[in-house]
A and B are shown apart, each in its own frame.
Chain A
Amino acid sequence: MPLRLIRYALSSKHHEPRMFTTHDRMKSSYDVVIIGAGGHGLAAAYYLARDHGITNVAVLERGYIGGGNTGRNTTIIRSNYLTPEGVKFYDASVNLWKDLSAEFDLNLFYSTRGHYTLAHTDSAVRTMRWRAEVNKHYGVDSELVGPDHVKKACPQIDLSCAGHAPILGALYHAPGAIARHDAVAWGYGKGADMRGVEIHQQTEVQGLDIQGGKIVGVNTSRGYISTEKVLSAVAGFTPRVTEMAGFRTPIFVHPLQAMVSEPIKPWLDPILVSGSLHIYISQTARGELVMGASLDPYELHSTRSTLDFTESLSAHMLEMFPFLSHVKVVRQWSGMADMTPDFAPIMGKTPVEGLYLDAGWGTWGFKATPISGKTMAHTVAKDEPHPLITGFSLQRFADFALTGEKGAASVGH
């Protein structure tokens, strides 16, 4: 440890400023209230302040910053979706991601790794080819590759997957990346805070004040706030907010679990996903393997973990990587995924004037953080949906105009 560094740590002249301002009290009124200080809510606050000059904004969070699904996902960023709406939207997100570290002056450990979605059956190969063609049409770097391509990128893999699920090919997406998820919320939060947005943690929204079909305020655990615009960005808590607002949505909540191994020597460069084996895996900058699987099979509003999950995910991991049998799992956790019937989000205006929804993020929300913030900020500021999200409106269900994204969900749901 260089002594010169210690000198800076002890000197009062070089103190590290706090990342967020602490506000003793809330104002009685704000131009916009955002419910949820996760990545999405904070990104929307950031772009409202930066791009639209709306800074009289409060972000209310019942827990702590980034403590929900922002800090519970497996950090994968990609844009090789199936529908034109999805591909355009997520590609715009990837383009924003690349510049975020510099924009925030905060290292997000954004690391471009290349992303393989493995195909173990003929029908999966067909879907991969379909996705590759849609992706290429919209200028996204995406191609169907053979098993040799996978083996070259990851020599440790057992291509036969213990003999019963041989890898026939893969969709290869070179821009696929991972990033440090907490830092994303901190970066957006800090940027919003610097521009005058107030972030209030430990502040729970308990009711919406709606008069004549229009939002006029919110009741919180710390008192009443009047406002004409409310953005709900609360993922698995969305049904509770829409219940307060008095309308129904197709959203249903299932837990999604994940786990992480002890740090080991770097060996896995790309991100690997297998729908058939229900796994996705990547290795972080500090050597941990981050692993996820499919949704829990029934509705539950809880973040409990199960041994079933750890056992079945480990078994599938060993089919693909037998040499991992001695690696220890050190942590597992769960998040509440707000699922939709067509695996696309629900974004934009609602039946209540002044209430905007950024929801239905299920298992695909982290990668969308920058673009959802940007498009929702536009939607809230202008009171009309951003062109990129018109396919994601709540109204699409009443119109029977769904955005069928299921084919691109990484892991079978």
Chain B
Amino acid sequence: MSEFVYHGEVRNEPDSETCSDSEWTDYVFNRSGIPAVKKEWWCHTPSNIWFIAERDTAKDHVLRTYLYGEGS
């Protein structure tokens, strides 16, 4: 379990200069808490490679993995 470390869902940061307060607090605090297939940040600790995994958070099945910028 500790070979790969979870770093949360991939989220797009809004432009803090132009977004509203509610968009910003939504980004900072709110999460998509429902079970679904989600894009997540993971890190392979021995090699320190960060990558994105598409994982079903109800069944704990990893469907795809790819490096940032290489996936669709």
A250 B1 Cβ-Cβ under 8 A: no
Q: How far is the CB of A400 from chain B (nearest CB, A)?
A: 7
Which residue of A251, A297, A302 is within 8 Å of B33 (Cβ)? A251
Chain B contacts for A242, CB-based, 8 A: 33
Residues of B within 8 Å of A338, CB to CB, are 33
Any B CB within 8 A of the CB of A122: no
B25 touches A301 (CB 8 A): no
Chain B interface size band reads 20 to 34
- Counting residue pairs across A and B whose Cβ atoms lie within 8 Å, the total is 60
State A240–B58 Cα separation when bound (angstroms). 12
Contacts of A248 in B (CB 8 A): 26, 30-32
Contact B1 A308 (CB under 8 A): yes
From known contacts A297-B1, A300-B57, A301-B57, infer whether A238 and B33 are also in contact, taking CB-CB under 8 Å: yes
Beta-carbon contact of B6 and A301 below 8 Å: no
Q: Please, what's the 1-or-0 string for B8-32, where 1 marks a CB less than 8 Å from any CB in chain A? A: 0100000000000110011011111
Chain A residues closer than 8 Å to B30, beta-carbon distance? 248-250, 397
Q: Which of A243, A298, A397 has the most CB of B within 10 A?
A: A298
The interface bits of chain A over 330-345 (1 if a CB of B lies within 8 angstroms of the residue's CB, else 0) are 0000000010010000
Residues of chain B within 8 A of A300, CB atoms compared: 57-58, 60
A299 to B40, CA, bound (A): 10
Q: B64: CB under 8 A from chain A?
A: no
Bound together, the chains give a CA A243 to CA B59 distance in angstroms of: 19
Bound CA span A398–B51, Å = 31
B67 within 8 A of A: no
A308 CB contacts on chain B under 8 angstroms: 1
Is B5 in the interface zone, CB < 8 Å from A? Answer: yes
B49: CB under 8 A from chain A? no
Contact residues of A between 355 and 398, Cβ < 8 Å to B: 397-398
Cβ-closest chain B residue relative to A299: B57
Which B residues are in CB contact (< 8 Å) with A400?
25
B46 at the interface (CB under 8 A from A): no
Q: Is A398's CB under 8 angstroms from B25's CB?
A: yes
Which residue numbers of A lie inside 8 Å of B, CB to CB?
238-240, 242-243, 248-253, 297-302, 304, 306, 308, 338, 341, 397-398, 400
